[in-house]
């Protein structure tokens, strides 16, 4: 039986994992044929609108409270999200955005590419002794990558989300070169984050993500967590 490392060891060893070759993959994947059909149009749209977007900056102290817009499966992890955010200096609402899109709170989620856990972390980000599905370990590895992506993006949340999904190298790449999945990821994530930090009680962008297929991810998480909505 694999065993989770201590929380202190997790945060201390996270900095040792410096691989930036692969990002953390979204738990929601549109079928390949759909990607082929819409990818070029999405890339063109993102390129045309990127210069009009306003970068959202993470404040140095981060948000104190978690927004109510997130689904019950993510709210289930509220205490842990606040703890992980405090340990990393991240805004808990940004931490929640990543969890929302990646796993909707399912600690056992696994993507076809091999990404694991709450933050859908790729295998090469773990130490040999890690339990990748252990929430604290998964958070330590995933949020360390998010911090590095934010640093590379100059705290531009939308760019950092692209780096988290597709690899930090995408932060400095032309947006026309982003994969269609990364374009969607940055679109959904930045919109949900903007709604969360605005103090809104609901998120149209989150509703759009749910309608676009995210609800199936949340149904799976709900079953794993035993939440009665």
Is 102 considered catalytic here?
A: yes
Residues 6+ apart with CB under 8 A from 207: none
Catalytic one of 102, 175, 181, 208: 102
Q: How far apart are CA 103 and CA 34, in angstroms?
A: 21
Cβ distance 217 to 100 under 8 Å? no
One DSSP character per residue, 27-88 reads S----HHHHHHHHHHHHHHHHHHHTTPPPPBPPTT--SS--TTS-HHHHTTHHHHHHHHHHH
- Both tokens of residue 31? 């079928």
Cβ distance 94 to 186 under 8 Å? no
- Both tokens of residue 186? 């940055």
Catalytic positions, please? 102
């Amino acid at each position: 039986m694999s065993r989770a490392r201590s929380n202190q060891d997790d945060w201390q060893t996270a900095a040792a994992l410096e691989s930036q070759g692969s990002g953390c993959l979204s738990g929601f994947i549109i079928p390949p044929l759909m990607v082929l059909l819409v990818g070029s149009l999405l890339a063109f749209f993102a390129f045309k609108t990127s210069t009009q977007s306003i970068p959202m900056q993470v404040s140095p102290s981060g948000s104190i409270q978690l927004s109510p817009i997130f689904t019950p499966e993510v709210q289930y992890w509220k205490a842990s999200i606040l703890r992980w955010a405090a340990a990393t200096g991240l805004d808990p609402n940004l931490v929640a955005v990543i969890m929302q899109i990646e796993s909707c709170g399912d600690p056992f989620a696994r993507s076809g590419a091999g990404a694991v856990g709450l933050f859908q972390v790729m295998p090469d980000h773990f130490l040999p002794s890690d339990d990748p599905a252990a929430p604290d370990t998964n958070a330590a590895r995933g949020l360390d990558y998010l911090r590095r992506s934010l640093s590379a993006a100059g705290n531009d949340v939308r760019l950092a989300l692209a780096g988290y999904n597709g690899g930090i190298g995408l932060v400095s790449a032309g947006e026309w070169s982003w994969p269609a999945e990364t374009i969607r990821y940055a679109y959904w994530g930045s919109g949900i984050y903007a709604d969360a930090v605005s103090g809104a009680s609901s998120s149209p962008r989150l509703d759009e993500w749910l309608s676009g297929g995210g609800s199936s991810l949340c149904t799976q998480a709900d079953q794993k967590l035993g939440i009665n909505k």
